[in-house]
Amino acid sequence: MSHYWRHPAVPHVEIRNVEDGRTFSHQRHSHATFSIGAIMAGQSTYLNGHGTRHISAGSVVLMNPGVVHACNPLRDQPWAYRMFYVDTMWLAAVQRQMGTSPEGGFVPFAEQYSTDPDLFAELDRLYGTLTDADATPATQQSAALSFFQRLVTRLRPVSGCADKDTHKLALAAEFIRGHCAESLRVEDIAAHASLSPSYLIRAFKTRYGLTPHGYLIDCRLQRAREGLRRGEAIADVAAEAGFADQAHLQRLFKRTLAATPGQYRG
């Protein structure tokens, strides 16, 4: 059983609550948002970037925007979780307010996983407040802001060292995102980034965890989610996001995100 929660008082936060995910299977994917989740029951394998670990109830998982990840339950284990998807620009504004983003853009967090019981409890309380039918919009807004202000001060920013091709790979990723609804060839992407197609495929997968084609599909799914959140017709969303037809979107959406487009739209 799974459902999504959204509320106009906090449009920068979306929640997915999965009460029984034993039959779910996620392919590798990413989100345009920052994601943080509480594992409520069971155990699973957790892929984030290039690292994989086992996680269990009481854990908190964290995914930076654009980072490839997947969680899949262990065989016959109960599996329940709550994922919060947080608008990146809103969170960047919180970072700027707290003094951790001097340039104004989103600063990725170093932590990918936590067993801190206090963090788990705080995330659980945030879920309770946001989904409380009797909570006022002001209460919901205050709870969300307070939690993420504390989170920003609690987590460490990534201190990465870029190699010589990081900028070119970022150009390739930006080109894919900007043209994901089009029929892109790897040669087009490579030419834009001034890289050879064969090198682009190898280096892109090392950097992003997906091939350029996989990243293209992932971007189309993210665009489809945006249209579905706006309540648009599934067939229109499929066409606008670059899928061959509604069935194509349906198949990839379910395989990657373990939910149908209709279930996601609500």
- pLDDT tens, 8-41? 999 999 999 998 877 666 788 888 899 999 999 9
Residues 145, 27 within the same domain: yes
Asked, for residue 159, whether it belongs to a domain, the answer is no
Separation between Cα atoms, residue 149 and residue 145, nearest integer Å: 6
Note whether 133 and 180 are same-domain residues: no
**Bridge partners for 72 per DSSP:** 45
| CATH number for 223 | 1.10.10.60
Cα 98 from Cα 214, distance rounded (Å): 35
Q: What is the CATH number of the domain that holds 7?
A: 2.60.120.10
Please tell me whether residues 249 and 133 are part of one structural domain: no
Domains: count for the chain: 2
What 3-state DSSP class applies to 54?
Answer: strand
Token pair in block for residue 130 = 């946001």
Fill in the DSSP letter of residue 29. Answer: B
Q: pLDDT, tens digit, for every residue of 153-188?
A: 999 887 654 456 778 888 998 999 999 999 999 999
Residues 150 and 28 reside in one and the same domain:
yes
- Per DSSP, helices labelled H in 5-101 are 88-97
What's the predicted TM-score (pTM) here?
Answer: 0.80
- Judgement on whether residues 144 and 256 belong to the same structural domain of the protein: no
Ranges of residues in the chain whose predicted pLDDT is under 50: 161-162
Residue 85: which H helix or E strand, with range?
Answer: strand 79-86
